[in-house]
Structure 1
Amino acid sequence: MSRSQSQSQSRVPLVMTVAVSLLAFLIINTPSVKLIYRSELINVAAVCLLWGAGLYKVLVMSDGSLRFGRLRVWFLALFAAMWTILLFYGSLGPESQASMRLLLQYAGVFGAVVGLLLFVTRSAEIRLFLIWQIVWAAALAIAQLSVGIELDRSQNQNYLTLGVPLAAGLVSVFGHMLITRRLWVKLTLLAPAALVTVALTTLFGRAPILFSTGTIMLFWVLHIVRNGSPFAKAGQLALMLSAGTVVYQIIRSNVSDYWLTRFARLQNVGDESRVAIYREALKMVREQPFGYGMNAADTYIGIYPHNIFLETMISGGILSLVALLGLLVLFVYAAGRSLSHKAYLMPCCMLACYLFLTWNVSFNLTAAYTPIGAIALCIVALELIQREQGGERHERIGRPADA
């Protein structure tokens, strides 16, 4: 890192680091934050405050420039292309059901993701963001296990409103367990891991448990394969199997009969309601590969497709899908690098992986700021680690350093 970079970063006080990390946390976790205050103002305020804090940090507290690596430039270009197609073609498409509210929601997603990509500029901000994620999950788990959290169905709150932050916290906890060598840290993290796991078993939904444990196992196996001697790999494998057995017993002993019944239904995937939705959505894609326009699936299917790829194709066509696939290629690259870089990159990638899996079967594009924003933080995290190691060239956009 150059002297000018170090001096500009040192001028950013702790309060700004905390503020940016907290605003990033609020953006990624907006649906669950509404358990406390149910208002769309949370979305607007979090994005506007992030842009305000970010611009103040760059223009006043720093040297007035933004530093970009190639990964961030590619991510910004691909996301801008995808969202431009969705906004303009999606609103003007032959079967578009766009409204002013919908257009503003799409614009909000764009502002949120770009704000995270531009203004999260320090490793401390990402580390704090991950800590907020764990603390929030632990707090929700304590509340759920002690008094129970009431969901407001009139506000479209369901088990995922609570299950997603709990599972995201569990994934973040295990991400930190994988990267740290300090025994006391691992032992400290056992308490929130147990709390969150038990809290997850009180919910009816399958996705939070299945996708979080699947993500943890995936990264743990890859971590074992990529790191350590054969003896160390054997030890890690034994530890993973032991931990998996304990978690399985906790889940099996606490979940409801209703959950077990729903889990058993996975043996007959054809009976799942989403399968019928996917068939209709695929039929739409085959008939019009260049898209129909925003919310067209509501007209033809009666509901959004419950799949990011299908909704992207239906709304913006094949060109928007290509841009989305490009974003995922960048994420897979970052996730692969996390196995060697580790640090805070691995928990970030595990969190983004879990969120994308969940959003891909449960939510629509108007809430895509959560998974795509989390992926953006992974790209930022990788660039920051590469910058710290001196392995990535960054371009400066803005005022010269000596201005």
Structure 2
Amino acid sequence: MKIKKIKAIDCNTAVAIFILTNLPSIKLFFSSAVLNVVCFVMLIISFLLKEKLYFETTEKKEAVFSVLIILICCICMAFVAGAQVNVDTYKILFSILCVLLVSLVLNYNTAELVVKLYCVWALFLSIYHIFIGITFNPSMGQSYLTLSVPLGAFLTVLLTMLLIFKLSILAKLSYFCCLLVVLLALSSLLSRSAIIFPILISFSITLFFFFKNWRSNKSSLFFLLLFVFFALFYLSNNFDLISEFRQLDRIERTITNMSEEPRVRIYEQVLSWIVDSPLHGYGLGSPFVMMGGGYPHNIFLDLLLNGGVLLLMITLPFLILYLINLTETFSAKKLNSWRVISASLSLFLFLQWNTSFSLNSLHIPFTFILVFISLRSVKTENTFR
């Protein structure tokens, strides 16, 4: 009976985290604030049903403590005398509170299920977009990014699995078919990062494992270089035929006219504001007002603009813990496949939130960082080339 209760709590937690991290894409089909309440209540239920808080590793305990400090600091910044509270202030606080709840209820069993649900959802979105089509409602804050983020994350996982893991022929064929489906869905969107980041992450991981175990990993690097070579060759010789793939133009502009990029101008403006008030920033939620509903498009600049060096320094321990775990993951001799998958997934989302999103949705990358850290306690196994 006790085992069934634990499994039920884990399932409830996994579904709650799945909804929480996929709220933007779920709202493409059913847009309601009720979803926010539902996933929050489900997390509360999981927390209350737990007989005791148990942290599998020291790193998990440190992560919980770091998030708690961030939340306390943000609350203080939001409600000190003279602070200008706005709707974005409450969104940021809600986002960090959700991260804290996730850190308290997440364990390695739940973490595996969350990753599986996320990937299945991304595959569903890809197929739905190809055969039926998904439209975006700008008035609801929806854009191509709403769809490209889960697709890009899934693409990162697929590339990592195909290049790093020892797979059967059937598994390789299945994952390759999924890869083609995701690429076809992404081809009609404007996202550059959903193409660039997965290739960058998978290439970096493959290169690392190649130099670490060069005798047994030659095939991984060979196939990756071969893929990149033929992709570039095809694009350069058939650009007119694929001009409808609109993100190619944006990728080209990123390389040839970086100074013309809107984000560069945003960064310059934000940096000038930060220089004027470096210590404490302008208050939690201030970018929403200062930028007319916009945001700095970078986590670190966003932290500095919201709370200055103080907020950045309080957030750094959590990010340093993440960096240490990444380093240890790719330095270990034997690893569980889920550990590497969650590492690549969290890396994509962290990079994505450094180019395209604000602090009010910080729960998405931070949750998957927690998923990655939670999988540290999984028994290791050699599943690599």
Q: TM-score, normalised by structure 1?
A: 0.84
Q: 2:14 aligns with which of 14, 21, 24?
A: 21
Question: Which amino acid counterpart does residue 98 of structure 2 have in structure 1?
Answer: A
Partner of 1:400: none
Partner of 1:161: 146
Are 1:323 and 2:332 counterparts?
no
Q: Which moved more, 1:135-144 or 1:333-342?
A: 333-342
Preserved CA contact (<8 Å) 1:47 1:112: yes
Which protein has greater RCO, CA pairs closer than 8 Å, 6+ apart? Answer: 1
Instruction: Rate the CA distance shift 1:114–1:249 in 2: closer, same or farther, 3 A.
Output: farther
Question: Which amino acid counterpart does residue 268 of structure 1 have in structure 2?
Answer: N
1:48, distance to aligned residue in structure 2 (A): 1.7
Instruction: Rate the CA distance shift 1:187–1:246 in 2: closer, same or farther, 3 A.
Output: farther
Instruction: Rate the CA distance shift 1:44–1:285 in 2: closer, same or farther, 3 A.
Output: same
CA distance in 1, matches of 2:258, 2:268: 13
Instruction: Rate the CA distance shift 1:335–1:29 in 2: closer, same or farther, 3 A.
Output: same
Q: 2:287 aligns with which of 297, 306, 318?
A: 297
State the percentage of identical aligned residues. Answer: 24
Instruction: Rate the CA distance shift 1:167–1:249 in 2: closer, same or farther, 3 A.
Output: farther
CA distance in 2, matches of 1:216, 1:132: 21
1:258, distance to aligned residue in structure 2 (A): 3.8
Deviations 1:209-261 (A, max 9, x none): 122222222222223233x3x33232221122234346667887656364232
Are 1:381 and 2:375 counterparts?
yes
Are 1:335 and 2:287 counterparts?
no
Instruction: Rate the CA distance shift 1:169–1:205 in 2: closer, same or farther, 3 A.
Output: same
Are 1:308 and 2:299 counterparts?
yes
Alignment of 1:360-375 (within 5 A): 360-375=354-369
- What secondary structure sits across from 1:205 in the alignment? coil
Are 1:35 and 2:35 counterparts?
no
Instruction: Rate the CA distance shift 1:249–1:348 in 2: closer, same or farther, 3 A.
Output: farther
Preserved CA contact (<8 Å) 1:164 1:208: yes
1:297, distance to aligned residue in structure 2 (A): 3.0
Partner of 1:353: 347
Preserved CA contact (<8 Å) 1:116 1:373: yes
Question: Which amino acid counterpart does residue 284 of structure 2 have in structure 1?
Answer: M
Preserved CA contact (<8 Å) 1:47 1:111: no
CA distance in 1, matches of 2:234, 2:133: 19
Q: 2:189 aligns with which of 182, 199, 203?
A: 203
Are 1:192 and 2:183 counterparts?
no
Are 1:145 and 2:127 counterparts?
no
Instruction: Rate the CA distance shift 1:326–1:301 in 2: closer, same or farther, 3 A.
Output: same
CA distance in 1, matches of 2:201, 2:247: 20
Preserved CA contact (<8 Å) 1:110 1:369: yes
Preserved CA contact (<8 Å) 2:278 2:308: yes
Are 1:283 and 2:272 counterparts?
yes
Q: Which moved more, 1:361-370 or 1:108-117?
A: 108-117
Q: Which runs of 5+ in 2 are unaligned?
A: 381-385
Deviations 1:355-397 (A, max 9, x none): 1111111111111100111111111111x22xx47xxxxxxxx
Are 1:264 and 2:252 counterparts?
yes
Instruction: Rate the CA distance shift 1:195–1:82 in 2: closer, same or farther, 3 A.
Output: same
Q: Which runs of 5+ in 1 are unaligned?
A: 1-6, 390-403
Instruction: Rate the CA distance shift 1:348–1:292 in 2: closer, same or farther, 3 A.
Output: same
Count of residues paired in the alignment? 369
Partner of 1:67: 55
- What secondary structure sits across from 2:66 in the alignment? helix
